[in-house]
A and B are shown apart, each in its own frame.
Chain A
Amino acid sequence: KAGVTQTPRYLIKTRGQQVTLSCSPISGHRSVSWYQQTPGQGLQFLFEYFSETQRNKGNFPGRFSGRQFSNSRSEMNVSTLELGDSALYLCASRLEETQYFGPGTRLLVL
């Protein structure tokens, strides 16, 4: 089975722009979670989608949003980018209690 895929792998944006990241889960997995990883804060939960519905949400501002499509693929969007949004954004595909991560999208905001 193919693993979790994320696109793009690298992005450079400037402050004020918006960005959309994409994630395709492992085939058959219906739950997708998004995390932000920074050296200072570690891995922080953004949100989880299951069957096209947001099931959990972390403590991030409304500039961070996501959605899930009927084929379980998910996108997350960050609007009005800030310098502090520079991070590795990880998507995880969930089966029961275990999560499997993709390689991440590294976002640099200048």
Chain B
Amino acid sequence: QKEVEQDPGPLSVPEGAIVSLNCTYSNSAFQYFMWYRQYSRKGPELLMYTYSSGNKEDGRFTAQVDKSSKYISLFIRDSQPSDSATYLCAMKNAGNTPLVFGKGTRLSVIA
């Protein structure tokens, strides 16, 4: 079992839809959870950062962490064609430990 599982998609939605992206993980020691957005031929861009369980909102983006279920989500409201990208979840233990990434979900928002 991989440490972090993420459905690769592709996921195609109409403009204005609510998008839900998810990751599950197996390592209960993970405490820091991130979502990155990666456009084609670019490096990943940090979107959301959450420590431990709970919700965090930033504009149209909401990140949720449920440590009891080892499940994290990213919601995108009022999705736009410019949101079309690959979304990567990432997580890590406390301290000087590396990030562990999901394989990414490719999202297309159709105008």
Contacts and interface: CB of A to CB of B under 8 A. Distances in A.
B98 A45 contact: yes
Contacts, number: 53
A106 B43 CA distance: 11
Interface residues of B, number: 23
B1 interface: no
A48 B92 CA distance: 14
Interface string B41-52: 111111001010
A97 to B, nearest CB: 5
A25 to B, nearest CB: 13
Interface in B30-49: 32, 34, 36, 41-46, 49
**Interface of A, helix, strand, loop or mixed by DSSP:** strand
Interface residues on A, range: 20 to 34
A100 interface: yes
A98 B96 contact: no
Interface in A57-110: 58, 90, 92, 97-104, 106
Contacts of B102: 42
Given A42-B103, A42-B104, A43-B88, A100 B46 contact: yes
Interface of B: 32, 34, 36, 41-46, 49, 51, 88, 90, 92, 96-104
